[in-house]
Amino acid sequence: MSVAPDYAAPLIGWRAWAAVDDEHGLALGSVVYATRWPPRERLEAVCVHRPRFGLLARLLRIDPHEAPEEGCECGIYAARTPDLALPYLGRQALVRWSGSPLIGRVALWGRVIECERGWRGTFAYPTHLYLPRATLSRRQGRDARALAGQLAAYGVPVDVLEARTTAGLLAELEARMGALAGAP
């Protein structure tokens, strides 16, 4: 039995990424786990509890299921507002790669768990990327404009943010959101 959809357009949230170079070229990567977001392809969530933890999952009575599920924590995450995603700009060191941090808006669709301050979805794709110039280290030697040009492979707008503080970045993002809302 099919279920009537609640929305006919994706839900839009905020995320942080790291732009990383790997054997397949430059791509977005999640900042907490080593998940690669390929250009021009939707990312699909899978719950890996059972295969990863085997006996432990069985002991915890975690049954295999489609991601996301309300009783689990799986799914592709997005925050409702940019201030919740901004702290993750500094966390790219937690993943197995180090890359240039980005923040941006992401579309979620499929089964989407609506949470108090964001969502967890089945499918995701970025809709707008923001590259804070201040987060590019001199060691990386990256030019923000050139990097933004490379990220154009995703087929979504890529803007360079000039603010140098978290508060400044948030103000710049909110100003750009206001400009987007006012666009025809």
Window 68-87: residues binding another protein (CB under 8 A): 70, 72-80, 84-85
Report the C-alpha gap between 78 and 68 in whole angstroms. 13
Q: Which residue in 47, 103, 161, 173 binds another protein (CB under 8 A)?
A: 47
Question: Left (φ > 0), alpha (ψ -120 to 50) or beta: where does 151 sit?
Answer: alpha
**Binding of another protein by 17 (CB under 8 A):** no
Binding segment (CB under 8 A) for another protein, from list 130-138, 140-148, 154-162, 163-171: 154-162
Question: What length is written for the chain?
Answer: 184
Question: Left (φ > 0), alpha (ψ -120 to 50) or beta: where does 154 sit?
Answer: alpha
Q: Decide whether 26 or 95 has the Cβ nearer to another protein.
A: 95
**Shortest CB 86 distance to another protein, Å:** 10
Q: Decide whether 35 or 150 has the Cβ nearer to another protein.
A: 35
Q: Which of residues 102-141 bind another protein (CB under 8 A)?
A: 107-121, 123, 125, 127
Q: Which residue in 45, 102, 151, 161 binds another protein (CB under 8 A)?
A: 45
**Which residues lie across from 36 on neighbouring strands?**
29
Q: What is the largest CA-CA distance in the chain?
A: 56
For 170, list phi and psi in degrees, rounded to 5.
-65, -40
Total of chain residues touching another protein, rule CB under 8 A: 72
